[in-house]
Amino acid sequence: MTTTSTIPPIGFGTFGRTGPEGIEALLSALETGYRHLDTAQSYGTEAECGEALRRSGLAREDVFLTTKITGDNCQSGKLIRSLRQSNDTIGVDRVDLALIHWPVSPTGKLPMAEYLAELAEAQTAGLTRLIGVSNFTIADLMEAESILGEGRLATNQFERHPLLQNHKLVDFCRSRGIAVTCYLPLARGACAGIAEIEAIAGAHNATVHQIALAYSLNQGLIVIPTSGRRDRIAENFAAGAIRLSPAELERIGRLDCGARQIDPVWGPAWD
């Protein structure tokens, strides 16, 4: 089985962190203590991740780097070349984790047998230490395992927060030893003003955002919040120290209302 314990539980999302301001946000995250940067070929932030890493003075092995392969680059013969380019753009020999960004694209379902074979080949070639997927449904994961075999996928990254808890998919991933990485773990601020979360935040002398993050962290899931503000970057990171009681977890668990934030018309048939 793939060892996933090396994926830091709190990552820093880099979508939108472009240019000099983006580099400063990334540096703030690394100075705060984040050791996991999450980028993607489609974000346009791979270069910023590399620049921030170099400026930080941290050793390469101390920072976990994730990137995601776009749909266009999942077409036959493109994936390995695109991952080499991503590594060159970041300025590293390999990333720690390469994900397939979507199992579908705006033009339809992608050829999974082809792109997963190339992803596995990229791992064998040393371009990435771990491989995984993003936005994969249970059916997609089952197809992926039929191609790669069990234990090859390090993680499935998908939207997950107190208002969209994705229990079926979380449980399936756990049953297969696939780590769950939650994107949009703050639901774009939608947890603010919800009485139950506000009350729990008050009890912990914490913010609503911290409680939203702690909810997933306390369940052993990985979260990748982001912000361009130094104070919010530090606030989010501090959520890792919050311990919620079973009763508090249960109260937040009742808030699931399927409030999906990312739902492209061409997306998969969600569980």
Which residues make Cβ contacts (< 8 Å) with residue 136, sequence separation at least 6?
100, 103, 144, 156, 158, 268
Structural Rg of the chain based on CA atoms: 18
- As annotated, the active-site residues are 43
Name the amino acid, one letter, at 17: R
Distance CA 92, CA 230 (A): 26
CA 152, chain centre distance (Å)? 17
Report the amino acid identity of residue 146.
S
- Residues in CB range of 142: below 8 A, 6 or more apart: none
**Pair 13, 157: CB distance under 8 Å:** no
